[in-house]
């Protein structure tokens, strides 16, 4: 792998990492603290992620517990979860908040699987855009005589191999997530 294509490999890798974060936030019926990443709580005037103001733990397979470090924040956190797109009603006892994740219906699982496929396609497009940028740069360098024709071909082949590798990883990641979602 040449140092020239290393930059593009890092960009493709960051696309894959972003997909991983997005997929972690998709609720597949199991309790996963990552579903709370997009929920912000008004903490003394500024929107703050829940994991920065409370301890979030998986109590059981389908139950998350949230224990705020500041006892006054229980109500605020509950309100933020209720108004979020999670679709879960928090239960709080004044000290701890419990989130019970219901088993998704067949229809909901199919919709989640479609969402996963959509995210996968968006990631593939981002990876292909990185490839296109690389190819354009190589052509421009060839035109300005910075690269020989052989070097250009070699770099384009390396970039294509990288693209293929990352596309396969996206497919594998999405397939794994879909299996997790469709599991009853």
pLDDT tens digits along 59-92: 887 888 989 988 888 888 888 888 887 778 888 8
Quick one: pLDDT at residue 72? 85
Residue spans per domain, the chain:
3-24+105-182, 33-100
DSSP-based three-state secondary structure for 184: coil
pLDDT tens digits along 89-102: 888 888 898 988 87
Quick one: pLDDT at residue 117? 94
> Cα(99)–Cα(93) distance, rounded to whole angstroms?
12
| 8 Å CB contact between 64 and 72 | no
Q: Which residues of the chain have pLDDT under 70?
A: 1, 27-29, 184
Quick one: pLDDT at residue 1? 59
Task: Please give the backbone phi and psi of residue 53, each rounded to the nearest 5 degrees, phi first.
Answer: -125, 5
| Structural fold of domain 33-100 | Gyrase A; domain 2 (3.30.1360)
| 8 Å CB contact between 59 and 98 | yes
Q: What is the pTM of this model?
A: 0.72
> Cα(82)–Cα(77) distance, rounded to whole angstroms?
9
- What is the CATH class of 3-24+105-182? mainly alpha
Q: Which two tokens stand for residue 43?
A: 């903490």
> Cα(39)–Cα(37) distance, rounded to whole angstroms?
6
User: H/E element holding 99?
Assistant: strand 97-100
């Amino acid at each position: 792998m040449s140092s020239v294509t290393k930059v593009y490999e890092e960009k493709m890798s960051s696309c894959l990492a972003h997909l991983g974060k997005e997929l972690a936030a998709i609720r597949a019926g199991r309790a996963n603290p990552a579903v709370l990443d997009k929920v912000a709580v008004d903490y003394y005037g500024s929107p703050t992620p829940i994991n920065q103001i409370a301890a979030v733990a998986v109590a059981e397979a389908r139950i998350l517990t949230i224990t705020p470090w500041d006892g006054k924040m229980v109500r605020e956190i509950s309100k933020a979860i209720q108004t979020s797109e999670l679709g879960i009603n928090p239960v709080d006892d004044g000290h701890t908040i419990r989130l019970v994740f219901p088993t998704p219906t067949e229809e909901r699982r199919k919709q989640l699987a479609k969402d996963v496929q959509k995210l996968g396609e968006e990631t593939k497009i981002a990876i292909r855009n990185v490839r296109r940028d690389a190819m354009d740069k190589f052509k421009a360098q060839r035109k300005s005589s910075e690269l020989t024709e052989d070097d250009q071909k070699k770099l384009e082949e390396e970039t294509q191999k990288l693209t293929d590798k990352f596309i396969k990883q996206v497919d594998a990641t999405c397939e794994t997530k879909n299996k997790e979602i469709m599991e009853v």
